[in-house]
Amino acid sequence: MKLIDISRPIYSGMPVWPGDTDANFDIVATIAGGAVVNIGALKISIHTGTHVDAPWHYADSGETIDRVAPDAYVGPARVIDARGCKSIGRDLFDRIDLSPTPRVLFRTDAWTNPNVFPRDWPVMEDGLPEWLATQGVRLVGLDIPSVDKLDSKTLPIHLACFRANLLILESTDLRNAKPGTYELIALPLRVRGGDGSPVRAVLRAMQ
């Protein structure tokens, strides 16, 4: 069983959304220092690194992450090649049947330096979230920090996904995932009342 890790590592000083909580990991006790065990403490934003957005993150009427069914984040998925695209549109799905893969991951390779937060990336075109929902898709994932642009104040694509009942997985690392069909495993933490959760996301090749 070969797993492809599509998660971005979490570490102190890693790039985060401008203005969000800085990531900080400290070792607070060590065996070498006389403690019985080594213990670390982690302080991060919910939206650090590879993470899922709970619908409540962008809509007050949406579910918090502890209320989202976990099976949404496990199952067949298709990686779609969106490299070189200025936007993500329906033309990427010519002759692709999405019915067996209700989770779609867009590989853009737009985040070129993993140590620097990107400033621009392609986003889904108007109407695409709604169309994906008609094809049976229930989750969209991307290798960029957000489904909306960095400077967006109205979050039109987040809200389009909300209306279409599409869940969102952001900031994956798909550089080692060729376009094709996989099993996605990206379970969030059960954060009570949470607006999302970091995840350890992996892909497993479908036999």
User: What does DSSP say about strands 39-43 and 202-205: parallel, antiparallel, or unpaired?
Assistant: unpaired
Q: Between the CA of residue 193 and those of 17, 47, 157, 185, what are the distances in Å?
A: 21, 14, 23, 22
What is the predicted pLDDT for the residue at 207? 65
Q: For 113-168, how does the pLDDT look when each residue is reduced to its tens digit (9 = 90+)? A: 999 999 999 999 999 999 999 999 999 999 999 999 999 999 999 999 999 999 99
Respond yes or no: is residue 57 known to be catalytic.
Answer: yes
| CA 35/CA 154 separation, integer angstroms | 49
pTM: 0.96
Q: Is the pLDDT of residue 99 over 70?
A: yes
Question: 3-class SS at 19?
Answer: coil
What is the predicted pLDDT for the residue at 103? 98
Marked catalytic residue, from 47, 51, 57, 158: 57
Question: 3-class SS at 66?
Answer: helix
Q: For 183-206, how does the pLDDT look when each residue is reduced to its tens digit (9 = 90+)? A: 999 999 999 999 999 999 999 997
What is the predicted pLDDT for the residue at 206? 75
User: Side chain identity at 37, as an amino acid letter?
Assistant: V
What is the predicted pLDDT for the residue at 149? 98
**Which CATH number fits the domain that encloses residue 11?**
3.50.30.50
Determine the straight-line distance between the first and last CA of the chain, rounded to whole angstroms: 10
159, containing H or E segment? helix 156-163
Q: What is the span of the domain harbouring residue 151?
A: 3-205
Q: Is the pLDDT of residue 111 over 70?
A: yes
37, containing H or E segment? none
Q: How many CA atoms lie within 13 A of 207 on its CB side?
A: 2
Cβ-proximal residues to 56 (8 Å cutoff; 6+ apart), any chain: 62, 63, 64, 65, 195
Q: For 6-37, how does the pLDDT look when each residue is reduced to its tens digit (9 = 90+)? A: 999 999 999 999 999 999 999 999 999 999 99
| CA 207/CA 202 separation, integer angstroms | 16
- Total tally of structural domains belonging to the chain: 1
